[in-house]
Structure 1
């Protein structure tokens, strides 16, 4: 019986576990997956969750529902000693414990990468988790409600100003979807005019979306500007102290919603292991997805997804010759990873990961999108349909796919849902306000 420990329950972890369940019999392997969250998040849907097009719970996959033979442990991994094949875990409640294993799979994913810019840690929010996407949606809608009651002035302007830092796919889809939501909200808030609402995209490079051609990227910039988005290229965020945004161009304005999407980095959990890392903190690996130290395989250690530095040996390799951190690589690597682990356990040789780029597709709000594959570029409604079709089918599990498609169909006939429940962050406030309390005792 091989004890297989999977660290991380994201896209790569979920698909690896499911693959191992199918490929290995109960007498061959005992599978354990450890993650602080009990669900996998489909990150490409976060902008649509923020825009209210998808119900938040439908963009996640509960691990316990869809992993029938895998033991799910909801805890943080605080250390891995692969030399001894022991991992230390810390649950939210209770004492730390250890898990012994025979085979280690590191699929811990990535987290938002930030820089020490004043105010960012205190004022900004990411777009890397389902909780962040829901909070952004609630904040935008509640800010409209607050601003509608205020006279013209700095406070009203601050509430109606949204800033997105980062011009990659995550940043572009986020600002496009939120701009689309804000335009829709104008019909519900007659006190607010189109020109009152400000959106700023801040990108340090001279162009956006490096995965598409420069011509396509210029079209997206022009489309955003036509819709009222101020696109700041070759511009850096200098400060966000107390919600006041200062740019390297000298511009300065207040904002109550600052969203950081300027890159990701490997989950810091890898620094608590004795596995080899590259200069960017990723686990070094071979194209077979085996962990390797200076090109030499580390026995019984595997990795995939954003946390790994997997050489890209395709015809069009990614930056630096490695696979870029995205969902397309994570799911494909995970499927091969499960097959390779099963092959090695049975005495066969693992295969190398070689991918065929299926292109890049992005949603830019309702009925608008962009698709790029090689020299072929499609823009507008057709690309938007391709975006929804691709990601709708790429969403893991048919019951989840059906829920997502149900959201889209419902939105088509019923309109966009603009309900916000930001008070969920203080769920006991109403109860505490009106709850009866014991009267203070009076001295005899």
Structure 2
């Protein structure tokens, strides 16, 4: 029997951990495992706000796929469509070419993209905080605004450049606002005239921040943010964005040249190309993580609607790194079981909690039934991240970066990525030309026919 071809889409928490579990379960040389991903690294996204603030270097959160895997073949590019009838994934390579990748078993873990809304000016002027490129660009941009404000004698320009607005009161938004506020505090030591001008705002349409933490810790988070000098406005969103102004839904027009958009994530559009039921864009799967009606296709992570068997209060598992990492072990076992004709296992996991690092000595943590704040929460938070990072090299870098900041202070030098007049980062960096399902099938059939003519049926 020929070696089964197992294709995994996505090098995030779900995809990379799936590949590593497959390598452990399948004897060397017994399967062809391919990983489709636009980059050759796994991004440890929970620590991106610390990259944006300069607390961590970009290399600390980007873990080499080649170093973390042994026999897996990397297919560079974006998976833009799936043709289940022909068992083909269509990949858009970095060169722009379309290439077919054939599979016997397919695991979809493409993650998501920043969720945008039809707000005038948002696509042209907002900054994202989801990718490594966005985090580095954001840090340079914030520091550049302070430098330009310090060099200007125009009070209106100073106000515009020194006001920063973060949209989104979830994990990413809260940590990004807190981390970058700390960065501004360090940078402002060089610009004493700006200390009274710098303003940070956090706005969210929801009635509270970090609802996952519960009411008590949520209120604690709100108090901490306000004590840091961040103005938090709830039940408010953005109505319009221009190059030098942000208009909120409560009618306020704030002079501002920096809007950071962290208002949620949308599932990858790839999931729509299978013509299977979805839940708000997330592909519905069974408790065994298999797509109903497609015995050879599995899905997990942010882009999959996985039944939550361990909790009655929510029908589907939350799209978090914690769940994606644990779903990876189950999906890898089930892929092997499906090849061997064994019974598949259901995914079941009890939420372990949430940790939030507000930079400095401030942190919050909910571990099972325990609620922590202050230094105990900071120890738990950083301990959790240290243990969760799958690379020993990255772990050493992170610990070294934290120690350097603790004993030598921060650095506010720009790296030269920001420039005026650039396109919206979260649109430019996350845009993928996904094909519609019908075109994908045509492309898949044409490419597959060419393969057959060139190489034969096998």
Aligned length: 418
Give the equivalent residue in structure 2 for 1:20: 22
Secondary structure at the counterpart of residue 383 of structure 2: helix
Unaligned 5+ residue runs, structure 2? 421-458
Shift in CA distance, 84/201, structure 1 to aligned 2, threshold 3 Å? same
Which residue in the other structure is 1:249 paired with? 250
1:156 aligned partner: 158
Match for residue 305 of structure 1 among 281, 301, 307: 301
How far off its partner does 1:95 sit? 3.2
Select between 44-53 and 22-31 the one with higher mean Cα deviation: 22-31
Match of 2:425 in 1: none
Instruction: Give the structure 2 partner of residue 31 of structure 1.
Output: 33
**Residue 192 of structure 2: SS of its match in structure 1?**
coil
Aligned to 1:269: 270
* Aligned mate of 1:85, from 71, 84, 87: 87
Compared with structure 1, are the counterparts of its residues 374 and 12 closer, same or farther at alpha carbon in structure 2 (3 Å cutoff)? closer
Distance 2:242 2:412 in 1: 30
Match of 2:382 in 1: 388
Cα distance, 1:134 vs structure 2: 0.8
How far off its partner does 1:261 sit?
0.8
Cα contact 1:3–1:29 (8 A) shared by 2 = yes
Q: 1:100 matched to which residue of 2? A: 102
Give the TM-score normalised by structure 2.
Answer: 0.88
Question: 1:379 & 1:85 partners in 2: Cα distance?
Answer: 50
For 2:363, the equivalent position in structure 1 comes to 369
Counterparts of 1:416 and 1:392, CA distance in 2: 21
CA displacement, residues 88-109 of structure 1 (integer Å, 9 cap, x when unaligned)? 2221226322121100110100
Correspondence list, 1:285-304, <5 A: 285-292=285-292, 297-304=293-300
Cα displacement string for residues 325-359 of structure 1 (whole angstroms, at most 9, x for unaligned residues): 11111111112211221222222222111112111
1:334 is matched with 328
* Residues 84, 294 of structure 2: 8 Å contact kept: no
Separation in 2, partners of 1:277, 1:74: 28
The equivalent residue for 1:223 is 224
Alignment correspondent of 1:439: none
Give the deviation of 1:374 after TM superposition.
Answer: 5.1
How far the C-alpha of 1:151 sits from its partner, in A, is 2.2
Structure 2 residue 131 is matched with structure 1 residue 129: yes
* TM-superposed deviation, 1:65: 2.4
C-alpha distance in 2 between matches for 1:80 and 1:43: 26
Q: Indicate the residue corresponding to 2:278 in structure 1.
A: 278
CA distance in 2, matches of 1:125, 1:345: 44
1:139 and 1:422 in contact (8 A); partners too: no
C-alpha contact (below 8 Å) 1:119/1:243 kept by paired residues: no
1:4 maps onto 2:1 in alignment? no
Task: Say whether the 8 Å CA contact 2:125–2:243 is kept in structure 1.
Answer: yes
**Structure 1 runs (4+) greater than 4 angstroms displaced:** 423-426
**Aligned: 1:378 with 2:380:** no
Q: Within 2, Cα distance between the matches of 1:75 and 1:166?
A: 30
User: Which secondary structure does the structure 2 equivalent of 1:196 belong to?
Assistant: coil
The answer to whether the 8 A contact 1:367-1:385 is kept is no
Decide which moves more: 275-284 or 243-252. 275-284
Corresponding residue SS for 2:342:
coil
- Which shows bigger deviation, 372-381 or 278-287? 372-381
Shift of 1:375: 4.8
Contact 2:140 2:417 in 1 (8 A): no
Q: For 1:93-151, what per-residue CA distance to the aligned partner results, in whole angstroms no more than 9, with x for missing partners?
A: 26322121100110100111111001110100111101111111111111111111122
User: Residues 136 and 257 of structure 1 are in contact (CA less than 8 Å); yes or no, is this contact kept in structure 2?
Assistant: no
1:314 to 290, 310, 315: 310
For the aligned residue pairs, the C-alpha RMSD in angstroms reads 1.7
User: 1:187-246: CA deviations, max 9, x gaps?
Assistant: 2222322x3110111110111111011121112111111211111111111111223111
**Partner SS, residue 254 of structure 2:** strand
Indicate the SS of the match to 1:418: coil
Task: Report the more deviating stretch, 220-229 or 299-308.
Answer: 220-229
How high is the TM-score relative to the length of structure 1? Answer: 0.91
What is residue 210 of structure 2 aligned with on the other side? 209
- 8 Å contact from structure 2 (residues 283, 303) kept in 1: yes
Match of 2:76 among 74, 77, 94: 74
2:431 aligned residue: none
Asked whether the 8 Å contact 1:82–1:275 carries over to 2, the reply is no
